[in-house]
A and B are shown apart, each in its own frame.
Chain A
Amino acid sequence: LDDVKLNLGLTSSASVDKAIWIAQKAERIGLEGVIVGEDLGRRQDVFTLTAVMLMSASRIKVGIGITSPLYHNLTTIGRSSATLNSIAPGRLILGVGVGGLQDLAKEGIRVERPEEALRNAVSILKSIWSDRTITHSSRHYKLKDYSYRREKGSIPIIFGVRGPKLLKLAGEVSDGALISGSRSYLLNAVAALTESLHIHKRSRKSFRIIAWTPTIVTVGGKGLETAKKIVATVIADTPEKVLSQLRLDLESVREVKHLVSIGMKDKALDLIDNSMMDEFCIYGEADEIVEKLRGFRSIGVDEVVFGPPYGSPYRYAIELLAKEWRAQ
């Protein structure tokens, strides 16, 4: 087995300074790349931020992980990624998924038939990038004689997915999957992806499985409160089907989900116990985290993502982890 590859992660809530520092750090220490998650409606435009990061480095890959075709017009995703690929050929990875349920609800978006939405999205995106004229009408998208006749190029599409149906779909139509959860969840997810790849006679080697679990370096125990906040958000965004498969106190988990959904995240934090922390977050001293991340290779993960919330201050936490990553 090749060694697991490390990416740094951030979201579009981050400042540009932070994003550039992270991209240049990843490049300097020889990491695979950086993955930028889109926080809907927040500070930065994920596509422009990605452009800035691609131009601030010359080698690393920058992944958008993920953006939602339910939030953006699908043509925006298609042409923005094509534009980024023309600015930095071969260095962009496009992550798509339905998006965080809480954020979508705030924007008045209901998620209906996510499987159909993602399946059609991949097909339309590939058509946009391949110089075809597209007419399409479905529940989620409408295009009429649409064509984007610009530079052609292939952009890897990875799915940010959690539930079994979407994992299966990822194995069928995407170039990879960005998955998040505990070691036991990841194990099941990798198995589901591998099975789907096998069913659809696709090569596992050319499929990229990336695990992104919120990670925090807790120097001397500091930083646990931040980790809890992240865990509360992850729980709120995790489908009931997935939660019910976990060995957790489901009553408490549902209460956390409810409190976050009505805007009482602070109260939800009191309910986050160690088992939930272990399930949804990687925390500990830098050497422990590196050991856990490297351990993901043995369950079939190809790449891992470190952060956020990283630890405090973030530069120190990333430096610590990078040093330990190279040492181990």
Chain B
Amino acid sequence: MRFSLSLNVGETPRDIASKGTMAEKLGFDMIWVGDLPTEPYAPAMASFLAEKTKSIKIGLGLISPLLYRPTHIASMIVTLVESYGPRFELCIGPGDRNRLNQAGIRIPKEIVESIMSASRTIREKLKRYDTQVKLWLGAQGPQMIEASTTFNGVLLNLPSPRMVQWASKIVQEKKPNEEFRIGVFTVSYVYDKAKQDIYNRALQAATMVALGASNKFLEAFGYNNMIKEYQHRIKDAGKSPPQTLLPEDILKEFSVIKDRREFKSYLYALERLGVKDLVLAYPQNHSLSTIKSLGKAINRYKES
């Protein structure tokens, strides 16, 4: 299994650099640089990170073809690979509905077709410029998971083993090629001794993931009615939902909030399900110390 740390692109270049170099030093396989219409421009940050690190792989994404033209997305990768060598991977997907709305973009009904069309254009351009990268699809709903099998891999925003198993079944029915990778992207807090404020941030981030989950996915897990009820409460409460809105056991299905021992068992479970990539995100990237904790946990797992 490859382990990646997702960095928060909204931080200063100096912080990004120090966290990226720390991840490289700790032996992470990859760093992912996320992209949102309201945050710094990820390809430029990826370029900055590549400049400051030696050889660690860098994932760009999730990049939305609704925000950028597909040829532009391909250009981002062409420039990065031409500048720093074959160190990059790309993940595309619809993107965050609310943030896209802020930038004047609506997710169309035929989003799957739109993403598939974009992926074809991206591939064509990458081929024209002789640029090879792994192309991932960020997915959560069943249609998008099905569509992902024409990609090099799927990054599931579904961390719990039973969710991964559900997604994996959809993938296997489509019989992807042998090289197809199943990856998990998740809110993460892996700790030796939990710090309450970071723990709370993780729960809050998990709340956002749960509330933003696709309807079909929620239906499949019987969460539909409960989440809808909480969505209504949030509407009434305003923009920032309090972290206690959803029960903690449910939030933990939408995140990896674990001590080292629990994390190790979790990794065994993912391995059994054939997961090849695990991307650990906010608030694990909060500080050098939280990154170190994760690095140690991963190294212990690798040693075992």
Contact = CB atoms under 8 A, between A and B. Distances in A.
B76 interface: yes
A49 B79 contact: yes
A45 B81 CA distance: 12
A76 interface: yes
23 contacts: A41-B69, A41-B72, A43-B78, A45-B43, A48-B47, A51-B44, A55-B48, A55-B51, A72-B69, A75-B37, A75-B103, A76-B68, A79-B41, A84-B41, A86-B12, A86-B13, A87-B13, A87-B44, A143-B104, A145-B102, A146-B38, A150-B39, A151-B12
A146 B99 CA distance: 8
A60 B253 CA distance: 51
A15 B103 CA distance: 31
A42 to B, nearest CB: 7
A92 to B, nearest CB: 11
A52 interface: yes
Interface in B82-131: 82-83, 101-105, 129
A276 to B, nearest CB: 31
Interface of A: 12, 15-17, 41-45, 47-52, 55, 71-73, 75-76, 79-80, 82-84, 86-87, 107, 141-151
- Closest 7 A/B residue pairs (Cβ): A142-B104, A80-B41, A45-B75, A83-B40, A16-B82, A51-B44, A48-B79
Contacts of A80: 41, 44
Given A15-B82, A51-B44, A83-B44, A72 B37 contact: no
B30 interface: no
A155 to B, nearest CB: 13
A200 to B, nearest CB: 29
A83 B38 contact: no
Contacts of B45: 83
A88 to B, nearest CB: 9
A45 B73 CA distance: 8
Contact of A52 (B40, B67, B83, B101): B83
B103 A146 contact: yes
Contact of B40 (A43, A86, A143, A147): A86
A48 B84 CA distance: 12
Contacts of B75: 12, 41-45, 48
Interface in B1-50: 10, 12-13, 37-41, 43-48
Given A73-B37, A80-B41, A146-B103, A52 B12 contact: no
Contacts of A47: 41, 43-44
Interface in B165-207: none
Contacts of B82: 15-17, 44
A43 B74 CA distance: 9
B48 A51 contact: yes
Contacts of B13: 86-87
